[in-house]
Structure 1
Amino acid sequence: SKGADTEKIILNKLKFVPCQECAKMSDDGGCLVDDDMQEVYKKIKEADAIVLASPVFFGSLSAQSKMMIDRFQCAWRARYILKKDNGYKKIPGAFISVEGSDRMDFFENSRAIAKNFFAVINASYKYELFCSSIEAKADILARPDYLKKAFDLGVKLST
């Protein structure tokens, strides 16, 4: 929003495998598996901010989001085991999530995973937006309050 250059990464369009916890990584803390995640690592390292967006399924992130996050095990290993700079600069982050019921407690596990992910990539968990009672994609269009909150979050993140 507000003129920021943004790029949306749609995980379903990427070809990548889950983390195998092989403990093999490049000297810069990167994963050695050669798939579409290499571009994701690069884009996040170059980003000035990050927004993670995922629906909640059974109290957790989508499988695609969790699989992507798990692939940052190499960055976690570099930072916390090898005590090396994993190449991610300090950036602000936001987490946006939708869920079909009106139970706000269903967001708790996803929030914890997002916070852990942001810590590994050196992003500060600055903002969150949880949208309950959103079952289908089109449901969000009937909620101008959520759309305004998302827009405002983008403005804050880009300033």
Structure 2
Amino acid sequence: MKTPVKIIGINGSPKGEKSQTRRLVLAVLEGARAAGADVMFVDICALKIRYCTACATCYAKGECVHDDDMPALYEKLLDADGIVLGSPVYINSVTAQLKTMLDRMADSVHCLHFTGKYGCAVSTAGGAMADETADYMNSAMRMLGATTVGTVGVNFMGNPDLIVPAGKKAKDLGRKLAEAIRTEWKDPAQQAYYADRKARMKQLVLANKDVWTHEFDHWKAMGWI
């Protein structure tokens, strides 16, 4: 029997159960579950995640100086096959809570820890920039090595009923995410991006191999250098 696809959804809204973004993340997970995936939902605003201080300890040792909820969340992300990121638009971008999580993953950017994983993103806005914010979240996942399969963004503009068609699109996106994982879908444009990014990360790690020892050891263990 094949191991079920594992998908984790991260909600970056601080509004709890009142969050429209939460509804979209859950809709993606519902669609993925209907396609046979095992799903997990995380409200990141309920976690304690401290700011990155750019100390570079993770580059050298593969661990962070902070004692908080990020390591446990990160293990869940690494265990997942697919990742759904969701955030409302706060001044043309993601919430501080979600951005803090992303900033704590600098080591993973260098190590491309999400290689082989898949992702998608959803965003809501009272006015504008929902699509752009969802695109930003997908770009962050591609920096980590993941292949992204799409977005759903909704700008309400005073019309809360728009969550209904957006929810349907989110469910479809969840099914698409699960299928992409199952079939190991490849996108030629993203594959070219990854090849270029991997080459640049390799040069960066090699240039700093004497101080970024953890990352250099990771690249050797992966057979990339």
> TM range, normalised to the smaller chain?
0.7 to 0.9
Q: 2:100 aligns with which of 57, 67, 70?
A: 67
Q: Which amino acid aligns with 2:66?
A: V
Q: Which amino acid aligns with 2:84?
A: V
2:145 matches 1:122: yes
2:158 matches 1:97: no
Q: How far, CA to CA, are the matches of 1:60 and 1:122 in structure 2?
A: 21
Q: How far, CA to CA, are the matches of 1:147 and 1:117 in structure 2?
A: 23
Classify the secondary structure of the residue corresponding to 1:61.
coil
> Once superposed, which parts of structure 1, at least 4 consecutive aligned residues long, lie more than 2 Å away?
26-34, 85-89, 105-108, 110-113
| Mapping for residues 29-44 of structure 1, pairs under 5 Å | 29-44=62-77
CA RMSD after TM alignment: 2.4
Q: How far, CA to CA, are the matches of 2:178 and 2:158 in structure 1?
A: 29
Gaps of 5+ in 2: 1-30, 180-225
Classify the secondary structure of the residue corresponding to 1:57.
coil
Specify the alignment match of 2:56 in structure 1.
Answer: 23
Check whether the contact 1:115–1:125 (CA below 8 A) recurs between aligned residues: yes
Q: How far, CA to CA, are the matches of 1:70 and 1:149 in structure 2?
A: 29
Check whether the contact 1:52–1:94 (CA below 8 A) recurs between aligned residues: yes
Query: CA separation of 1:155/1:106 partners in 2, compared to 1, >3 Å: closer, same or farther?
Result: closer
Q: Return the offset for 1:107.
A: 4.0
Specify the alignment match of 1:82 in structure 2.
Answer: none
Q: Return the offset for 1:5.
A: 1.0
TM-score between both structures, scaled by the size of structure 2: 0.58
Q: 1:54 aligns with which of 81, 84, 87?
A: 87
Which deviates the most, 85-94 or 63-72? 85-94
Gaps of 5+ in 1: 80-84
Q: How far, CA to CA, are the matches of 2:165 and 2:177 in structure 1?
A: 18
Q: How far, CA to CA, are the matches of 2:59 and 2:40 in structure 1?
A: 26
| Mapping for residues 74-89 of structure 1, pairs under 5 Å | 74-76=107-109, 79=110, 85-89=111-115
More helix by share: 2
Rg: which structure is higher?
2
TM-score between both structures, scaled by the size of structure 1: 0.79
CA shift digits 1:7-28 (9 cap, x unpaired)? 1111111012011111111667
Q: Which amino acid aligns with 1:11?
A: I
CA shift digits 1:71-130 (9 cap, x unpaired)? 112222xx2xxxxx45434111101000001x3x4642x245323421232211221111
Q: Which amino acid aligns with 1:143?
A: I
Classify the secondary structure of the residue corresponding to 1:53.
strand
Aligned length: 146
Query: CA separation of 1:68/1:98 partners in 2, compared to 1, >3 Å: closer, same or farther?
Result: same
